[in-house]
A and B are shown apart, each in its own frame.
Chain A
Amino acid sequence: MPDFQIKTQTLQNNIVMIKVKGFLDAHTYEELEKTISEFFERNLYKFVVDLSELGYISSAGAGVFIGAIGTAQENNGNIVILNPSNNVKEVLELLGLTQIFTISQELESAIKTFQQ
């Protein structure tokens, strides 16, 4: 598994897919934060964040989503988490974030949440 990698892709209806690989911690979170901020600057606020290949997250990593979801929702967008690995899901649960963020197992259902 790579140390850290971000791949982005714009899908239908201005939905941005961000795939994060490797580990998201106090050393790597700023890069993801910058990526999301750059999309905000382009007025893109709908995100599907694929965490299927993210092997590890700490609170610094989760903080990126906590800090960004408010701005996304204020602009009729959202951050939907796609298919988190077990380790990542465990930390999101410990932080109480699985009650707050929409978590989808399939890309199709993640995209559908923006049509509701």
Chain B
Amino acid sequence: MANVKLQDKLVISTDTKFLNIVRGFVSRMVRQSDLPDEDENKIIVAIDEAVTNIIEHAYEMQRNGTITIQIDADDMKFQVAITDSGKRFDPKIITDPNILDHIKNKKKKGLGIFLMRQIMDEVRYMFKDGIQNELVLVKYIKKV
């Protein structure tokens, strides 16, 4: 698709039961974009991990918050901005895990940010004072 410009937004409550809806939304947007088919599952995983982290850490599994997922794509990049009003949570402070340590310590969590960084070209976090967290994930679209 040439010169594609896509924009859409999804708002969900902070409940993991809506992750399936998030994945459906991201899937539809990736398919409409210029991203190659083989990127679809990875992008879905990255956004799922970001939203899961917000539900688990920023809202501590409380279901009374909302998360907004805004996708903007053109022929250069696929950008996902995720905003919430939960606790401040900057993924930059999380270092990459050692998977063998995870196994040794029977640690099941703490891999989502690592996956986001592996998959996306940019992971940016901003805290807008007193209002909200904004996490921006970008995947560049490579010209063939």
Contact = CB atoms under 8 A, between A and B. Distances in A.
A66 interface: yes
B111 A95 contact: yes
Contacts, number: 81
Interface in B101-118: 102-104, 106-109, 111-112, 114-115, 118
Interface string B37-53: 00001101100110010
Contacts of A23: 20, 23
Contacts of B114: 59, 95
Q: Which one of B41, B49, B107 has the greatest number of beta carbons of chain A within 10 Å? A: B41
Interface stretch (A46-54, A67-75, A106-114): A67-75
Interface residues of A, number: 28
Given A26-B19, A56-B23, A94-B115, A67 B41 contact: no
Given A66-B107, A70-B106, A100-B99, A25 B48 contact: yes
Contact of B99 (A68, A86, A97): A97
A64 interface: yes
A69 B103 contact: yes
Nearest to B112: A59
A64 B114 CA distance: 17
B99 A96 contact: yes
A26 B119 contact: no
A27 B112 CA distance: 14
Given A3-B20, A63-B108, A63-B111, A58 B45 contact: yes
B49 A66 contact: no
Contacts of A44: none
Given A26-B16, A67-B108, A95-B115, A56 B55 contact: no
Interface string B1-32: 00000000000000011011001000000000
Contacts of A27: 16-17, 19-20
